[in-house]
């Protein structure tokens, strides 16, 4: 599972880099993006070099891949759209063991070539059926202007990154809202009631809960007095 998380996180980071710059995403840029995200979410440093080393290990099926820091593992799962590692395991149980590892095991055994191909065919069918039933059993959501709404599964939207696993608290509590100088920005205990982030057009937007920006996938930040004075009550 750790192998899939690392590979998927780098793939998403490269895709975001391509969307933002128009250039093909590089491993170096992706590792820097992931490193910044992990530090922001988990408050612990995790270097881009460590991430690249992890990707190299994940690309070698002969190596065991394991992320030892739970906070780093949870941060990577959050980057992929999950609440934490447990949420990732629950949502991806049909992929355990992964297709890549399972196929490698079949290819390296002593069966005749014919049986190897037959085994691969059976594995592909099983995985395909598993993914089909998982897709139809799992609930999904999509961003609609200023909030998430529940929608049916759409493989194209999933590939584009606009379709996400349904989270009830996200649908009910996470909204994009306009703020004015008269808004109540903080709770009684002094904690922020709103979070902010920039969309693809670099415009500042405000949200009612901590999550990732629905367009860019970047972690939102809690609204501070500095941001209020600079952008809302200037």
**Which pLDDT belongs to residue 132?**
54
The angle subtended at Cα 172 by Cα 169 and Cα 176, nearest 5°, is: 110
Contact 16, 216 (CB under 8 A): yes
Shared domain check, 106 and 83: no
Shared domain check, 73 and 4: yes
**Which pLDDT belongs to residue 19?**
82
Decide the pairing of beta strands 176-177 and 195-198: unpaired
Shared domain check, 86 and 97: no
The angle subtended at Cα 143 by Cα 172 and Cα 93, nearest 5°, is: 80
Considering its fold, how many domains does the chain have in total? 3
Provide the residue range defining the domain that includes 99: 93-138
Shared domain check, 176 and 120: no
Shared domain check, 156 and 134: no
Token digits for 2? Answer: 């750790």
Domain boundary among 138, 173, 207: 138
Q: Each residue's pLDDT tens digit in the chain (234 positions)?
A: 788 888 888 888 888 888 877 878 788 888 888 888 888 877 778 888 888 888 888 887 777 878 888 888 888 888 888 888 888 787 776 544 444 444 444 345 444 454 556 667 777 666 665 555 544 567 899 999 999 999 988 888 888 888 888 889 999 999 999 999 999 999 998 999 999 999 999 999 999 998 899 999 899 999 999 999 999 997
Shared domain check, 99 and 80: no
Q: How far is CA 26 from CA 16, 29, 65, 215, 218, in A?
A: 11, 5, 22, 21, 18
**Which pLDDT belongs to residue 102?**
40
Query: For residue 208, is it left (φ>0), alpha (ψ between -120 and 50) or beta?
Result: alpha
Shared domain check, 144 and 205: yes
Shared domain check, 153 and 212: yes
Contact 210, 196 (CB under 8 A): no
Please state the φ and ψ torsions of residue 34, each to the nearest 5 degrees: -65, -40
**Which pLDDT belongs to residue 81?**
85
**Which pLDDT belongs to residue 119?**
65
């Amino acid at each position: 599972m750790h192998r899939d998380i690392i590979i998927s996180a780098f793939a998403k980071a490269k895709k975001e880099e391509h969307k933002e710059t128009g250039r093909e995403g590089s491993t170096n840029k992706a590792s820097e993006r992931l490193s910044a995200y992990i530090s922001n979410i988990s408050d612990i440093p995790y270097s881009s070099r460590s991430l690249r080393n992890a990707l190299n290990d994940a690309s070698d099926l002969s190596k065991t891949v394991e992320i030892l820091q739970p906070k780093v593992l949870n941060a990577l799962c959050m980057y992929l759209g999950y609440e934490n590692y447990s949420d990732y395991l629950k949502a991806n149980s049909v992929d355990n063991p992964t297709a890549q590892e399972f196929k490698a095991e079949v290819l390296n055994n002593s069966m005749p070539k014919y049986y190897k191909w037959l085994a691969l065919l059976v594995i592909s069918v099983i995985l395909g059926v598993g993914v089909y039933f998982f897709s139809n059993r799992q609930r999904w959501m999509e961003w609609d202007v200023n909030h998430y709404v529940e929608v049916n599964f759409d493989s194209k939207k999933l590939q584009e990154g606009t379709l996400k696993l349904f989270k009830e608290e996200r649908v009910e509590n996470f909204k994009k809202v306009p703020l004015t100088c008269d808004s109540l920005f903080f709770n009684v205990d002094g904690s922020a009631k709103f979070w902010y982030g920039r969309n693809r057009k670099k415009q500042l937007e405000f949200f009612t809960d901590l999550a990732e920006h629905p367009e860019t996938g970047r972690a939102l930040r809690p609204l501070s007095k500095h941001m209020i004075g600079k952008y809302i009550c200037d």
